[in-house]
Amino acid sequence: MGNRSEVLPVYQVYKQSQPTHKPGRIARAVLLILACVVLPASAVSCARQQQPGDTRDRSTIKIGYFGDLSGPTFNFGQSAKNGVLMAVEEVNQAGGINGRKIDIVIEDDEGSPELAATVVNKLTRQDKVIALIAGGASGSSLAAGPNAQSAKVPMISPSSTNPAVTQIGDYIFRACFVDPFQGEVMAKFSYNSLQAKTAAIMLDFNSPYSRDLTEFFELSFTKLGGRVISKQSYSQGDLDFKGQLSSISSAKPDVIYLPGYYGDIAVIAKQARQLGITQPLLGGDGWDAPELWQLAGDSINGSYISNHYSADDPSPAIQKFVHDYKLHWGNLTPDAHAALAYDAMRFLVEAIQRAGTTEVEKLRDALAQTKDFSGVTGIISMDSERNAVKPAVILKLQDGRYIYQETIHPEAPDSAAKASPSASPSKSRKK
């Protein structure tokens, strides 16, 4: 495990992965120095040294991060790591949490749920982190969550959308919406906006994420009056999808729903186009990775996905995040994983500040009480099952870009609770 583990003060981890040209950091450093000189000491905490008589705890706060940094969905882990590190650097540069700096301990789960469970044991028992920002894919969170729960270390998944993740226990939280909502969002978009009456679905049968999205898409699409006329399955890493795609092609559906991860989707999309399939391909957040374009080329043009945010959104908060992230990470556009991980880290920091302690039970309670936290991906409030209730966006894929189409909001908690245990979408609006 030694090679996978990085136990470094955050600035060292950061330095290793930084582009060499960093105007943003320099500009921020100059601003910070100016702030220290110009503003009164009470307004800006510039003091790095403990003053005589100051008994406040100045030890670092250790937080764990794990994700797929080198496996089949490595884009997910790398993006989330970037988001986490950027949030940590901002917090540390502003003086830390109640005067304490954050140290981040990073592990690679290689996209393997078993390894994710192992690294959680290492992070909680050996490194003694006080909280975890992880995991990415739902399969990893489902495997690793029970270890975080039994160690009583709060785990905030930035992006795992499978409903069962937070049902593991009261130490497991998430910063994103859940798949019953995500499946319904795409069913409504297909039926109402694309006017699709029939759909085919091809799912990754080993993935809880893919299985549940299939179920919830089908449920909603059928309820609206649509019909699922062909259902095929595959397993992550398969290379030949032509048999399933031929069956789908002969069923002549209006749309094809592919609730999988970007690596498989690229191969499926290419083979679909080779077979002459021209219908729109539809997916979920699992498609969102810069790597998708390199792997799939123009075979995914004209597809639509549901996602957590759009980097094109003109809102000042999103544009500031996109601008800062590009400066940090060599002009990369932040995907949903990066934005969600940034939000998850910021909302953990806010909960620690509110709790005034890292003591586990108080921190768990503060996290559960999170209300109206203003994140890049939306307003985060925890519901009673520790899920964030937030809107989703629909994006169109065209020539290397994810083009914003519309936002779909969950129903108000009261009416949603009556209709279904998860929040269901109520209305959409075009910007």
Which residues of this protein are in contact with ligand PHE, per CB under 6 A?
A: 76, 136-138, 159-162, 209, 285-286, 288, 336-337
How far apart are the C-alpha atoms of 228 and 164, rounded to whole Å? 25
- Please say which residue, 102 or 382, places its beta carbon nearer to ligand PHE: 382
**Strand-pair partners of 395:** 305, 404
- Please say which residue, 166 or 279, places its beta carbon nearer to ligand PHE: 166
Residues sharing a CB contact under 8 Å with residue 422, sequence separation 6 or more, in sequence order: 163, 178, 180, 181, 416
- Please say which residue, 101 or 337, places its beta carbon nearer to ligand PHE: 337
Minimum CB separation of residue 116 from ligand PHE in Å reads: 12
- Please say which residue, 14 or 76, places its beta carbon nearer to ligand PHE: 76
- Please say which residue, 171 or 209, places its beta carbon nearer to ligand PHE: 209
Minimum CB separation of residue 33 from ligand PHE in Å reads: 37
Q: Which of 188, 178, 211 is nearest to 420 (CA)?
A: 178
Minimum CB separation of residue 91 from ligand PHE in Å reads: 23
Minimum CB separation of residue 288 from ligand PHE in Å reads: 5
Residues sharing a CB contact under 8 Å with residue 315, sequence separation 6 or more, in sequence order: none
Minimum CB separation of residue 318 from ligand PHE in Å reads: 16
- Please say which residue, 145 or 226, places its beta carbon nearer to ligand PHE: 145
Q: Which uninterrupted H or E stretch holds 426?
A: strand 425-429
Task: Please report where in the chains the tokens 């690294």 appear, as a residue.
Answer: 119
Minimum CB separation of residue 303 from ligand PHE in Å reads: 15
Torsion on CA atoms 170, 172, 177, 180, rounded to nearest 10 = -70
How far apart are the C-alpha atoms of 240 and 184, rounded to whole Å? 29
Q: β-pairing, 425-429 with 401-410?
A: antiparallel
C-alpha torsion sign, points 421, 427, 428, 429:
negative
